[in-house]
């Protein structure tokens, strides 16, 4: 099973992308990363690593596995959680990085529950709605999810490992048909973590 995570810093990402993208695109990505790093400052992933590692992994998957050179899609990967997990608004993303980047981020942003809404129902509605994303939005969401699950065994809560495996298999793996490279990644991942389906709750 393939894992990603060689881009630990923006300097790593820039070095990998230099020669593949024009300088203006690299500048856009540098600005997106700096903005995301500032907004996510102090946040960590469940296993304790800095949150920015996840953002870089999502961009790395797109750029290295899917050969994406679309700077706006890569910028959206770096920014994909700023609206969901920080006080940043979609309008602010649009103002700073343009309407397409904002639309890509919006497409993968889970809305907060409204007054009296069941969070589980909101999440289910969000997951079902992913089916309607355009192809680039699906690639972004799947890169995000693959980053989240590629080291699922490191999550500190076994019950979350099981529920996240089941959710990913049910709602995300079918969407990987959008790109055969993603389909192959997720098929290998599903097999590698199949033991979670058989682990008692």
Instruction: Please write down the HEC assignment for all residues of 21-75.
Output: ECHHHHHHHHHHHHHHHHHCCCCECCCCCEHHHHHHHHHHHHHHHCCCCCHHHHH
Tokens for 188, please give them: 């290998």
Average pLDDT over every residue of 149-178: 96
Q: What is the CA radius of gyration of the chain?
A: 16
Quick one: CA dihedral 107, 109, 113, 115, positive or negative?
Answer: negative
**Can you name the CATH fold of 10-197?**
Hypothetical protein af1432 (1.10.3210)
- pLDDT digit string, tens, across residues 118-154: 999 999 999 999 999 999 999 999 999 999 999 999 9
Q: Is 199 a residue whose pLDDT tops 70?
A: no
Can you give the pLDDT at residue 198?
A: 76
Catalytic center residues: 84-85
- Per-domain boundaries in the chain: 10-197
**Contact assessment for residue 2 and residue 181, using Cβ atoms and an 8 Å cutoff:** no
**pLDDT-based confidence at residue 200 (cuts at 50, 70, 90):** low
For residue 47, the model assigns a pLDDT of 84
The predicted model gives 108-120 an average pLDDT of 93
pLDDT surpassing 90 at residue 95: yes
Of the chain, the end-to-end C-alpha distance in Å amounts to 25
Mean pLDDT of the chain: 96
CA-CA distance, 201 to 181, in Å (whole number)? 32
Q: Give yes or no for residue 201 having a pLDDT over 60.
A: no
Alpha-carbon distance 18 to 14, whole Å?
A: 6
Check residue 143 and give its pLDDT: 98
Could you give the percent of the chain with pLDDT greater than 90? 96
Percentage of the chain surpassing pLDDT 70? 99
Q: What is the pLDDT of residues 30-82, one digit of tens each?
A: 999 999 999 999 999 988 899 999 999 999 999 999 999 999 999 999 999 99
């Amino acid at each position: 099973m393939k894992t990603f995570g060689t881009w630990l810093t923006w300097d790593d990402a820039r070095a990998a992308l230099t020669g593949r993208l024009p300088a203006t695109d690299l500048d856009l990505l540098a600005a997106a990363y700096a903005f995301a790093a500032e907004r996510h400052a102090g946040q960590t992933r469940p296993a304790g690593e800095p949150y920015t590692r996840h953002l870089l992994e999502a961009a790395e998957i797109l750029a290295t596995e899917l050969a994406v050179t679309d700077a706006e899609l890569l910028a959206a990967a770096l920014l994909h959680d700023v609206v969901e997990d920080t006080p940043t608004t979609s309008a602010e993303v649009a103002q700073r990085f343009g309407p397409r980047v904002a639309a890509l981020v919006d497409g993968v942003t889970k809305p907060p529950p409204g007054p009296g809404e069941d969070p589980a129902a909101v999440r289910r509605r969000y997951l079902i709605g992913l089916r309607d994303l355009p192809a680039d939005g699906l690639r972004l969401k799947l890169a995000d999810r693959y980053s989240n699950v590629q080291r699922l065994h490191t999550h500190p809560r076994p019950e979350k490992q099981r529920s996240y495996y089941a959710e990913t298999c049910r709602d995300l793996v079918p969407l990987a048909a959008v790109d055969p490279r993603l389909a192959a990644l997720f098929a290998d991942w599903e097999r590698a973590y199949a033991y979670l389906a058989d682990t008692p709750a």
